[in-house]
Amino acid sequence: MKRMAILIMFLVLVLILTSCFPGSFPRVPRSLLIDDSHNNRIDDKASVVLSKLIKAFEDKGYTVDLSSETGFSPEGYGIVLVLAPQTSYSVNEMSGLATLLSRGGKVLLLGEYYPYYNNAPLNAIASYLEVGIQFNNNLLHDNTNNYDNEEIWVTTTKFNAHPLTTGLNKIVLIAASTLNTSGEAQTIAYAEPTSYVPLGVPAEEPLSGVAAGSGYSLSEFSNQVAIVVPLVAAASVGSGKVLAIGDINLFSDDIEGYNSGDFIDLFDNRKLLNNIINW
């Protein structure tokens, strides 16, 4: 009995100490802030375009706010979703994202394809956070691995082992840019060897061995060098996590009626989102 009492006292002491040092045992609220106040590349209100995404978070016990309604104050949230901003973030705003990460939160960066969108504001955020991820200004095509015969609705079955890829067989990106990774950043999903960047749609930097805007299919180089073109990437920043995808539509509703269902419900897109929430 005495030994049990000592064990209980020890456990209580551990809990008290970890509450005094949140960086060593991070706890963040189950709350999501969707950034829709930086002239984001969303044609309609985020609450409409992302209604199923919002419900997926709410089903996991999250409260969801829009920055256009509550203001952009990421420090008090567990997750911040940044959707292709066209207005650059201020240093104070990026510092708020860094603070969120220091508390064990997550920052989700979703970009878009060029020339529809310039990923420079997202790259500025990624550089400030020092995550080793950059978005290319390009548009990926695939004449073979795509959805509904749309060569810019690129599918992939190429995943690296990671908690984010658990249970995934195939995802589809609805017109996307590629990514570059460096340092400790991890490539989570990458393009099929049949994917390519067409001539006249330049990347900010070469795609892992392929000249930017070369117009060559990536598969033409398969006998010379192993090429990995990141589509989904992740990085750890202290006790926090950052995820990057060059597409804002893979988790969205299809409000324009391009498809018989919503993009979030295609293949394993929703499973990827659930993995991100649980990550």
Interior CA angle at 37 toward 32 and 137, to 5°? 95
Q: Rounded to whole angstroms, how far apart are CA atoms 182 and 252?
A: 28
Give me the mean pLDDT over the 40-50 stretch: 83
| pLDDT given at position 223 | 39
Percentage of the chain surpassing pLDDT 90?
A: 72
Helix (H) or strand (E) holding 53: helix 51-59
- Residue 101 contacts by C-beta under 8 Å, 6 or more apart in sequence? 107, 129, 237, 238, 239, 240, 241, 242
Phi-psi category of 173—alpha, beta or left, where left has phi over 0 and alpha has psi -120 to 50?
Answer: beta
Helix axes 91-102, 120-129, angle to 10 degrees: 50
C-alpha 118: how far from chain center: 17
Residue 21, pLDDT above cutoff 60: no
pLDDT band at 260 (very low <50, low <70, confident <90, very high): confident
Tokens of 15: 């809990």
Tokens of 226: 């192993």
For each of the domains in the chain, give its residue range(s) and CATH number, in order of start: 26-192+226-278 (3.40.50.880)
Judged on CB neighbours under 10 Å (0-12, 13-18, 19+), 51 is: middle
Give me the mean pLDDT over the 207-222 stretch: 38
Does the pTM surpass 0.95? The reply is no
Q: What does R_g of the chain's alpha carbons equal in angstroms?
A: 20
| pLDDT given at position 254 | 85
pLDDT of 87-128, one tens digit each? 999 999 999 999 999 999 999 999 999 999 999 999 999 999
Give me the mean pLDDT over the 148-161 stretch: 97
Q: How many residues does the chain have?
A: 279
Worst-scoring range by mean pLDDT, 163-172, 184-193, 226-235?
Answer: 226-235
Helix (H) or strand (E) holding 269: helix 269-278
| pLDDT given at position 16 | 44
Tokens of 95: 């510092």
Inter-CA distances, 23 with 18, 99, 152, 278, Å: 9, 11, 42, 19
User: Dihedral, CA atoms, 245, 246, 250, 252, nearest 10 degrees?
Assistant: 100
Q: Rounded to whole angstroms, how far apart are CA atoms 26 and 101?
A: 10
Worst-scoring range by mean pLDDT, 41-45, 69-73, 115-119?
Answer: 41-45
Q: Rounded to whole angstroms, how far apart are CA atoms 10 and 4?
A: 10
Give me the mean pLDDT over the 223-227 stretch: 47
Residue 218, pLDDT above cutoff 80: no
Tokens of 278: 């649980």
Task: Quickly list DSSP for 110-137.
Answer: E---TTT---HHHHHHHHHHT-SEEE-S
Nearest Cα neighbor of 185 from 221, 232, 143 is 232
106 in Cβ contact with 164 (< 8 Å): no
Nearest Cα neighbor of 110 from 220, 4, 249 is 249
